[in-house]
Structure 1
């Protein structure tokens, strides 16, 4: 696909050298980590198993401080505003479930946020006095300015009721950069807490948390930073840390209210932690987990710097590959790409699949697929991509059509996009012929 700098050339050969995909497998959905990071993970796991108790109790907290400092520098944040959680969903749940809601409060969220987070909002509406409000946004038809108008309009409509607003840095499906900086500023203007889902964030786009001045943000290191599962960063601005009464799950670092403490006496070795503040202490040890992935952050950052030539080279290559791969897929499908400006482009290619859906059955023909069957179609496409073509592309039903999101990365090249798009085109032909119905009947 091209050389980024000096002798560093990304693409399939680079992937075969540094990553661990089995021969013939082409990934086009989520990230992976290289052999160098795998070796670091195994080294940590071996060290843990050599003396598990001492490592978990004494060594891990010290190593974790180093990791937090590295990630804080990478994200341009203060180190005591950054802790490690297993993934973005857990981090966002920690934030949302700690907030105390009263009757009349509302949680606003932009339509299209990650499904598990939308359901977390639904759960809060079931179990607390809060109500939810969805900010309508059509990813296919609307632009940033319309989103911002709808965002402000919602905050005006529910003046002094919206306590928190949830939005993405990069929407997952389709994959595009959101105007999260302007949304965060709008939250500040209205006195609303901003909760930013940056699951697709670190390693994919620049994040400057000091300049952003968000209230809460979480970002996955295992998607695009080349860190093993499970490792994510939870950022909580100092001004809001008093709101985080407990980690999830509640840990040894939890400090009960004084009237409870008076009736009990806590004696625990974990109380001796030298963590700089109660918020950091709570998230330092939340139970027995695999301590290896977070401690691989130094190796991942070193790989990106020395082997890949730095952040700019990684992102430039991936964005160029996504743009070229998108054009190739559009030509193969005979459809269209998501209409976005270059400023909103990240390392994703978004292309509409050549399938027509309708709310009506089209005179018994198969030229239009009933919308009610969209789930069956989606299931067939994803399963057959894996089983028949040994690849995977993320697909979602958005605004009346199925859209594919191809993810570009340094271990891929244009021929891989051609392979994935050709596979999808063949599968779409099968769908148009009604094969998804046959497959569903056989499975039933």
Structure 2
């Protein structure tokens, strides 16, 4: 049987009493000699006995220092602080691992987290902390899960979860269940909507939700008396049967520490494609005219048959769109201007919807990142490219705008027999 690592308290107290009695009965001896004599009798080293003596004097208040009770309390507090820090680290890493809360993750996901962090925190502490925060799991459940063989169905589900995570990240973490279901189907995965919802729950994924976006146009006395084009759209957004039949335009603002900047868009109603956009530090006619010029250039560059004659351009009654310079540019291009009624944002609802997506999917998600117009411009370029080429739109059969236009051209250019 191995020797005990520490002397019991009774042995210590007896050794101290023997030392004091020795000092009293042999006043001529030095403290070192007395400790050696007592230590030899009870088989304790002199230095060890010295520590016991000093501790006894501190506890009695004779010598300054931390008493035994205070030392015990400090040890207890330090242990509690260490446990709290470990619990906070477990919660921090778990929050990142489970990506955003919701219902309790499945047991296999919790076990995967334990596998990833057990060497750092230990299995029992992780189980205790998770159980205290609405993720109950016992160490025995973890070990039983680890001993259980992986079934083919569970392995296939794990692969699907990884696929969902990869596709969700490719689309900037914006898609909810509905769009992820259509995306998975287009990627060749035969999964149902409810299954996609369950896979996203396992992965801790969720889409962004568009907040309330209200735009109110106000009447200006000078503008009321000024003639302007009539409304040729009348909110019939489903009417276009081809690209470049109707375009809509509007602009919005973005706050940055360098001041407000403004972003204008021109969108094709049929395909929802953003044809032109521009970022500027002032909301002038040049801002909206630049977006129009880019839209015309985009069409002329990619389609030699494009003509703007007969195209309808719809906007609100903002002074930039009712200005003489902008109206003249539309007329020169053969475009018919259309203006919605003042005070009714629904007359340009499709454009308001696009701007709402822009704010939700880009601007509001990275609100603290915008140092100035240049950063907004760079990020907007990336978002517009993704919006046009990869984003699924429910209004056009869950296809990207560019793909939807390509399908239209393929159908209209095919011979009648092939189209049938």
TM-score greater than 0.5 by the shorter chain: no
The answer to which structure has the higher helix fraction is 2
Greater C-alpha radius of gyration: 2
TM-score when scaled to structure 1? 0.19
Greater relative contact order (Cα < 8 A, sep 6+)? 1
Higher strand share: 1
**How high is the TM-score relative to the length of structure 2?**
0.20
